[in-house]
Structure 1
Amino acid sequence: MPVRLLDIPRLHAPLQAELDSAVQRVLHSGQFILGENVAALEREMAQYCGVAHAVGVASGTDALLLALAAAGGPPGGEVITPSFTFVATAQAITQWGARPVFVDIDERTYNLDPQRIAEALTPQTRAILPVDLFGLCADMDAINALAAEHHLVVIEDAAQAIGASYRGRRACSLGRAGCLSFYPTKNLGGAGDGGMVLTDDAELAERVRMLRVHGRQTGYFYHLHGYNSRLDEIQAAILRVKLPYLEEWNARRRHHAALYDELLADLEEVITPFVPEGYQHVYHLYTIRTPHRDALRAWLQEREIDSAIYYPLPLHLQEIY
């Protein structure tokens, strides 16, 4: 039997009746944008992540963009971020009007190296945008300490890390704001695009709420230059069905990761994921390193076992940068 990297129909099969019912309720309601399901999901996600406010938006990329726009002041300057991440992280910075400054990662965790952040700071640095890559939180205490010393904003890209924790705190609660993606392949995924900004900062949350509806606060009166970035009701309804299962799903991911760790432990040329003490990984991806990568992938493919390379070319080597 083929082993797929991700099998969404198999994941949804036990929930099909609940999902169908949730979608039908939205269709019969006639309320498709920013309705009761979005509001309820925002409350549930804020409680789950341990923050005061959550604001649904159209995608994870938009979550990063709107968080920067709400927290970072006027566009311009530099934002420190890893080169080893999905391109949306850097594109949100450029769309906001700043310049991404790419900093290398800790080769054990694949996340931003705080020491290298310190070396990259300049008078133009406005913010730090760390990524919780593959489901493991970045070293946020060290990053926040640097940010506080230099009066910088920290926006946490937790798109791959919903449910992860760092020293007893959930991903999305570790910076001025945390950003999620509900892309279908995520640990908590919808049936299309979606995202969310989470924060304890009431003023920032209110600015994101305005920014997502063209800068409007009430009626047809506009206070900010905003965007069209709203989470729709069908996505919110689907996510509300799936959220109660997230802890179980993440626990299964950790169980399978522990099994892989055990089975691969004696292979000197395979480096398995490193999890520092006090961190809880959610294994959005189980990522290994080996000098025999291509040969291993060919061997797996012959046996109908999926694998992928994340990411084949770091951002600082991409044509657009």
Structure 2
Amino acid sequence: MAPMNITGVSEFLLMGLSEEPELQPLIFGLFLSMYLITVFGNLLIILAISSDSHLHTPMYFFLSNLSFVDICFTSTTVPKMLWNIYTQRQAINYVACIIQVYFLMLFAGLDDLLLTVMAYDRFVAICHPLHYVVIMNPQLCGILVLVSWIISVLHSLLQTLMVLKLSFCRKVEIPHFYCELNYMVQLACSDTFLNDIVIYIAAVLLAGGPLTGILYSYSKIASSIHRISSAQGKYKAFSTCASHLSVVSLFYCTSIGVYLSSTATHSSHSSATGSLVYTVVTPMLNPFIYSLRNRDMKRALKAFFRTAAIKRPLVLNSRSSHD
């Protein structure tokens, strides 16, 4: 008997990275470690920036927003995967899967747009340094972040509503460790032509558009740096955007590489493994890239830890005196 189409399918099965039972404890430990590093690393970036008045600038304002989005981005997928491994269950109910798709699209889009906004910030800082304070004023910075949120919310809402219209067969298996939009559309029993069109247009506009903006910004930055006469001046100008350029390269190279390789090999396993890089590894590495390559961030982190170390004995002494 052919599988019956139903609109209200109760649950999906997330097949994960591997079905080998002996590998599950290793995968659990690895993902738990990476998740904790991601959360605490990005949280430290946010706390260091908020506690240091010298870092209350547009560049670090955008960086703190990026760190917050990275925490949310990873939290959308990894905790559910860890729970499934711990309980030895692969199921995720329909509502939870739709919610995961929504927030995954939301934070992925925000990551993309914030990286573009940060590229524009570096473009203004290097190409128009005398007008930087006037152009990148607090109002514009807030508007840029707000617009990024609005675009991402509307896009993820559109994609989610399109998925809600699809009908699925019983026992839908997703060859991934989270509810991935493309796989859900492919596994639907109903017509997905409109979904495919929306996904394609969104990819062109929300991936190609920001990438074009980033490439344009860095082409202008490279041209400005080339015109600087002294080697020290060139190094100083390049160092201000080296961390951001590293993050952009990591984000786009891994995400583009994943989809190109999965298209070429038609391997769902390679796609799931590759998606791990930009959904988990990249958010984990971002704090290290920005802290290790940035002198101001190193100073802010040292000051934050020094302040925390001073406050802790004061709190303990206060408690002991009350006792």
TM-score normalized with structure 1 length: 0.26
Name whichever structure is richer in helix by fraction.
2
Relative contact order (C-alpha < 8 Å, sep 6+): which is higher? 2
TM-score normalized with structure 2 length: 0.26
